[in-house]
Amino acid sequence: MKRSRLTMKASELFRPGYRIFVNRIEERFETALHEHDFIELNYVAEGTGYQYLGGTAHPAGRGDFYALPVGASHVFRPYSADKSRRLVVYNVVFQPELLEEIAAASPELRLLERWRDIEAGPPGAGHIRDARLKLEPLFERLHEEHASPRAGTPAMLSALLTLLLIEWLRLREADASSGSGQEPSPIHAFAETIEQVREQALGPITLHEAAERSGMSERHFQRLFRRHAGQTFHRFVQRQRIAAASELLRATDHKLDTIAGMVGYRDIASFSRVFKQIEGRTPGRYRSEAFNAKKPLPSERG
């Protein structure tokens, strides 16, 4: 039996005063093939399945990003009907007028020019593989902001969408350079190096290893790192570790020595010393203050 094709309208999705709609859904076989009168960005958050574009099935898994122009016909399908084989997708919806405004504010991005290439290209022309999951936190923040609106939410959604589009264009540019065999610009290359250090900061990473991986002497690597990151390699790594530790102290009841090991410290004394240098208080006091901040005020208690 042939499935009907639906046309989804932005007017049915947007809240009053909002120009962006965001959801996170588990795709099912019952979803009909559809098109829409808005731009849609899809990002696979969990599982595997297929994105049907223009009648062709494209394998889809975590980290796959799709930019779909107005009128694009598509639907996601999970890999199978087995409930353990989930396919969870973020969807960000907005009107072309907002894309034009973002493009006008940053003409150097050539956003409209690149978007027209996607519109003129084959189905799936707006797809990239976000292998390092750089875009996922932005989709998470967009969803959280949309799901829990507060003062400034429409402006925050627009700002996050702008950041998402910029990161998407940068990933496309990096993919294009890689595919053509061109060397990335020195600035872009070192930005990638810093991102790699950020991703590896909780492990046993050393300046020697990072410099060697980049094909530089330690001295030259350290000089470039400080210029681009505004801090030394060691301080950067420490700050990444303490940021992760702070989150664990707020969100878990793990013991301090366990947290120290989880963020790359071999002993609690070193961990506590660096934590106090950066946060201005010991890990124990930080956790206590975070716990007390969560307690409701007397007037808020039932």
What CATH number has the domain bearing residue 207?
1.10.10.60
Determine the structural domain holding residue 276 and report its residue range.
186-294
101 and 62 in a single domain? The answer is: yes
55 and 108 in a single domain? The answer is: yes
Domain boundary among 180, 204, 229: 180
Flag whether 302 is in a domain.
no
190 and 172 in a single domain? The answer is: no
Flag whether 300 is in a domain.
no
Predicted local confidence at residue 186, as pLDDT? 60
Predicted local confidence at residue 141, as pLDDT? 96
Please give the Cα distance from 266 to 287 (Å, whole number).
Answer: 20
Predicted local confidence at residue 1, as pLDDT? 40
Predicted local confidence at residue 214, as pLDDT? 86
CB 128 within 8 A of CB 56: no
56 and 107 in a single domain? The answer is: yes
Domain boundary among 120, 145, 180: 180
Average pLDDT by consecutive 10-residue portion of the chain (302 residues)?
Answer: 67 92 91 90 94 90 95 89 83 96 94 95 92 93 96 96 95 71 60 85 91 90 90 93 94 94 94 94 93 64 50
CA-to-CA dists, residue 166 to 78, 109, 118, angstroms: 29, 8, 16
Flag whether 301 is in a domain.
no
